[in-house]
């Protein structure tokens, strides 16, 4: 299957760039269940509504990437490539989008260029129309390979600005990153607020400032999580200021740590200059089916907390605090959480204000825990933090604190080139190592990203154990937060 079902460019321009109609990207099959259901929605749960979703007329649907790939092989015993093929078949009229973490692809470390290139090519060949790529540090060099390859295969490539709040993340910072992304040839720009920090006035200002940078024809799309309760207001204000598309989820999987509800935004924009043109009754029909699917499966989203006040007071998402608490608990030191929450922004400042998203959230969080528990700051600095401080994850938004850099550098200079330039090609080794199990180029790529988990999956597949769904874990909420800790929200 190599044909792209939907022209990833022309209709997008028609639907957003040249009129004020706002495009809707539905995230139900990717980010929504990743955020509310520990990424446990199965392909079987998607199929009963897929063809109806296809007919809604969304600008696009995000259905692949993020943590869904890992979850498929790790927890669901599903082949993620098969899911993509099935969804492509069921949804021939809708642009399918994937989220990719730049040079990290769908994993948690940088991969060599040959793996990145092959992975992007196979993703498009199997049905992806739109590639949304981001880097945790907004280091455009980490997005370059995904952008180039996406363009080469004729996909629509969306560059991403990861939004955070810090003294160095001013409008100028985002304008500079956007300028670089545009120069690399992106087809549209996404503002990604994974932590629910984007206030409506800031959203409006950002869109207004970015418009001259990206030009009038290049669409700007908003991606936000509702955990602080601000996302829908940020969408509204961004749209007034010229944003062309928003990410939403069908209501049973909306709000809280997921996106604003699709139905709400469709009704809100109806009869305004920004009308989405979507049919609310068709959406309600799909929503009721999805609600029934989860009810029947006994895995309805857990909604104890809709507003995460910890984001509002500390700018730290509850999922990250849960991880810190788990680390403290192992040392019987959970009573020291408040100290860690005070140390966290200090570490983040020393580290040059990285946005807190995988993997920087784990690196900064662990360092803050160690600084508190050791009774002396930076007495222990883990290997990942050392790599980060030496530039091996990319360029921090702001220079590293001098005292800290000297401590880890031991006379060495930080690397200033693109980190992946140091990586040996990965295809041949992956091909050799996965030979006992792999039956396709896709299998080899699965192995290249997740050697250990892929091997377990391949063995289980060989034992024909896969098709069966594992029992749903009882402590879903905990798993959910753990997974969110490791995987981009």
State the residues that interact with Co ion by CB under 5 A. Answer: 31
User: Which among 105-113, 206-214, 234-242, 473-481 is the span making contact with a second copy, rule CB under 8 A?
Assistant: 234-242
Q: Does 222 bind a second copy (CB under 8 A)?
A: no
The rounded distance, in Å, linking the Cα atoms of 12 and 437 is 40
Q: How far is the CB of 36 from a second copy (least distance, A)?
A: 11
- Residue with Cβ nearer Co ion (191 or 363): 191
Q: Which is nearer to a second copy, 233 or 415 (CB)?
A: 233
Nearer to Co ion, 62 or 442 (CB): 62
Closest contact distance (angstroms) between CB of 244 and Co ion is 18
Angle between helices 441-449 and 113-125 (to 10 degrees): 130
Yes or no: say if 158 and 190 are a contact pair by the CB < 8 Å rule: yes
CA–CA separation, 227 and 204 (whole Å): 19
- Which residue, among 181, 188, 79, 88, has the nearest Cα to 129 in the 3D structure? 88
* Closest of 6, 276, 16, 55 to residue 156, by C-alpha: 6
According to CB under 8 A, which one of 7, 148, 288, 441 is a site residue for a second copy? 288
Q: Which does 31 bind (CB under 5 to 8 A by kind): Co ion, a second copy, none?
A: Co ion
Residue 307, interface with a second copy (CB under 8 A)?
yes
Cα–Cα distance measured from residue 323 to residue 160, given in angstroms and rounded to the nearest whole number: 26
Residues in contact with a second copy, shown as a per-residue x/- string from 311 to 350 under the rule CB under 8 A: -xx-------------------------------------
How far is Cα 368 from Cα 346, in angstroms, rounded to an integer?
8
Query: For residues 235 and 222, is the Cβ–Cβ distance under 8 A?
Result: yes
Q: Is there binding between residue 255 and a second copy (CB under 8 A)?
A: yes
Residue 167 DSSP class:
T
Among 168, 264, 337, 455, binds a second copy (CB under 8 A): 264
Q: Stretches 43-51, 68-76, 233-241, 342-350: which one binds a second copy (CB under 8 A)?
A: 233-241
* Residue 289 touches a second copy, criterion: CB under 8 A: no
Question: Are 131 and 9 within 8 A, CB to CB?
Answer: no
Residue nearest to Co ion (CB): 31
- Taking 3-state DSSP, the helix, strand and coil percentages for the chain, each rounded to the nearest 5, stand at 55, 10, 40
Give me the 397-416 binding string for a second copy, x by CB under 8 A, dash otherwise: --------------------
Smallest gap from residue 199 Cβ to a second copy (A)? 6
C-beta neighbour count of 332 within 10 angstroms: 8
Using the minimum distance from each CB to a second copy, give the nearer residue, 51 or 309: 309
- Which C-beta is closer to a second copy: that of 245 or that of 404? 245
Q: Is 233 in the site for a second copy (CB under 8 A)?
A: yes
Does 213 bind a second copy (CB under 8 A)? Our answer is no
Residue 453 interacting with a second copy (CB under 8 A): no
89 contact, one of a second copy, Co ion, none, CB 5-8 Å limit per kind: none
Q: Measured between alpha carbons, how far is 104 from 133 in angstroms, rounded to an integer?
A: 10
Output the CA angle 23-27-30, nearest 5 degrees: 150
- 137, 101 in Cβ contact below 8 A? no
CA-CA distance, 147 to 125, in Å (whole number)?
16
Q: Are 48 and 293 in contact (CB under 8 A)?
A: yes
Report the nearest approach of Co ion to the CB of residue 343 (Å): 27
Q: How far apart are CA 345 and CA 351, in angstroms?
A: 10
Of 134, 57, 44, the closest CA to residue 83 belongs to 44
Among 8, 159, 200, 359, binds a second copy (CB under 8 A): 200
Least Å from the CB of residue 483 to a second copy: 22
Contact set with a second copy (CB under 8 A): 199-201, 228-230, 232-233, 235-237, 251, 254-256, 260-261, 263-264, 267-268, 271-272, 280-281, 283-284, 287-288, 300, 303-304, 306-307, 309-310, 312-313
């Amino acid at each position: 299957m190599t044909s792209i079902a939907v022209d990833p460019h022309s209709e997008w321009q028609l639907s957003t760039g040249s009129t004020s109609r706002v495009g809707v990207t539905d995230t139900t099959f990717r980010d929504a269940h990743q955020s509310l259901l520990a990424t446990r929605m199965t392909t079987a749960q998607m199929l009963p509504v897929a063809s109806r979703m296809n007919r809604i007329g969304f600008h696009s649907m995000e259905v692949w990437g993020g943590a869904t790939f890992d979850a498929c092989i790790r927890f669901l015993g599903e082949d993620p490539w098969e899911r993509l093929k099935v969804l492509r078949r069921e949804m021939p009229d809708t642009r399918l989008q994937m989220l990719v973490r730049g040079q990290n692809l769908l994993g948690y470390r940088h991969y060599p260029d040959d793996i990145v290139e092959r992975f992007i090519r196979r993703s498009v060949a199997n049905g992806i129309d739109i590639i949304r790529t981001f880097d945790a540090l907004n280091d455009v060099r980490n997005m370059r390979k995904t952008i180039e390859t996406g363009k080469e295969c004729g996909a629509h490539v969306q560059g991403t600005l990861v939004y955070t709040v810090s003294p160095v993340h001013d409008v100028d910072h985002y304008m500079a990153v956007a300028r670089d992304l545009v120069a690399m040839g992106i087809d549209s720009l996404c503002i990604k607020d994974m932590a629910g920090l984007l206030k409506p006035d800031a959203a409006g200002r950002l869109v207004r400032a970015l418009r001259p940078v990206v030009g009038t024809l290049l669409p700007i799309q908003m991606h936000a999580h509702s955990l602080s309760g601000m996302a829908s207001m940020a969408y509204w204000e961004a749209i007034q200021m010229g944003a062309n598309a928003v990410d939403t989820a069908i209501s049973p999987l909306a709000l809280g740590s997921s996106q604003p509800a699709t139905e709400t935004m469709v009704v809100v924009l109806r009869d305004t200059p920004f009308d989405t043109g979507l049919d609310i009754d068709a959406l309600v029909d799909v929503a009721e089916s999805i609600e029934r699917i989860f009810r029947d499966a006994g895995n309805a989203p857990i909604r104890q907390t809709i507003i995460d006040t910890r984001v509002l007071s500390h700018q730290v998402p509850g999922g990250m605090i849960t991880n810190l608490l788990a680390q403290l608990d192992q040392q019987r030191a959970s009573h020291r959480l408040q100290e860690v929450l005070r140390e966290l922004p200090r570490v983040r400042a020393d580290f040059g204000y990285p946005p807190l998203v995988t993997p920087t959230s784990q690196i900064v969080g662990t360092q803050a825990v160690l600084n508190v528990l050791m009774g002396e700051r930076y007495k222990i600095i883990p290997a990942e933090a050392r790599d980060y401080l030496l530039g091996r994850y990319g360029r921090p938004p702001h220079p590293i604190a001098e005292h800290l850099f000297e401590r880890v550098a031991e006379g060495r200079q930080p690397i200033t080139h693109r980190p992946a330039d140091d990586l040996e090609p990965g295809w041949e080794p992956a091909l050799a190592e996965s030979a006992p199990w792999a039956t396709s180029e896709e299998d080899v790529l699965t192995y290249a990203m997740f050697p250990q988990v892929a091997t377990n999956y391949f063995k289980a597949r060989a034992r024909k154990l896969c098709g069966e769904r594992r029992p749903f874990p009882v402590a879903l909420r905990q798993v959910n937060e753990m997974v969110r800790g490791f995987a981009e929200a």
